[in-house]
Amino acid sequence: MKYYSTNHNSPDVTLAEAVVKGLAPDRGLYMPERIERLPKEFFDNIGEMSFHEIACRVARAFFGEDIPVDRLDSIVCDTLSFPTPVVKVEPGIYSLELFHGPTLAFKDVGARFMARILQHFIKIGDDRRKVNVLVATSGDTGSAVANGFLGIDGINVHVLYPKGKVSPVQECQFTTLGRNITAIEVDGVFDDCQRLVKSAFLDKELNDRLLLTSANSINVARFLPQAFYYFNAYSQLKKAGAGESIVMCVPSGNFGNITAGLIAHRMGLPVKRFIAANNANNVFFNYLQNGVYEPKASVSTIANAMDVGDPSNFARILDLYGNDHDRITSLISGTTYSDGLISATMADCFDRTGYLLDPHGAVGYRALKQLLLPGEVGVFMETAHPAKFKDTVESMVNTTVEMPARLYAFMRGTRQTIPMTSEFSDFKSYLRVC
Domain ranges of the chain: 83-106+223-401
Residue 86 has pLDDT above 70, yes or no: yes
Q: pLDDT at position 125, please?
A: 65
Residue 139 has pLDDT above 90, yes or no: no
Residue 240 has pLDDT above 80, yes or no: yes
Confidence of residue 243 (pLDDT cuts 50, 70, 90): confident
The whole-angstrom separation of Cα 244 and Cα 247 is: 9
Contact 299, 273 (CB under 8 A): no
Confidence of residue 126 (pLDDT cuts 50, 70, 90): low
**Least confident interval from 43-57, 389-403, 415-429:** 389-403
The more confident residue out of 7 and 127 is: 7
Region for 364 from its dihedrals, namely left if φ exceeds 0, alpha if ψ lies in -120 to 50, beta otherwise:
alpha
Let me know the angle formed at the C-alpha of 308 by 303 and 311, rounded to the nearest 5 degrees: 135
Confidence of residue 41 (pLDDT cuts 50, 70, 90): very high
Classify domain 83-106+223-401 at the CATH class level: alpha beta
Contact 257, 25 (CB under 8 A): no
Contact 358, 383 (CB under 8 A): yes
How confident is the model over 274-293, as pLDDT tens digits?
999 999 999 999 999 999 99
What pTM was estimated for this model as a whole? 0.90
Confidence of residue 169 (pLDDT cuts 50, 70, 90): confident
With a pLDDT cut of 70, the percent of the chain lying above it is 99
**Least confident interval from 46-60, 80-94, 208-222, 225-239:** 208-222
**Which residues, 6 or more positions from 338, have their beta carbon under 8 angstroms from its beta carbon?**
279, 280
Residue 131 has pLDDT above 70, yes or no: yes
Q: pLDDT at position 287, please?
A: 97
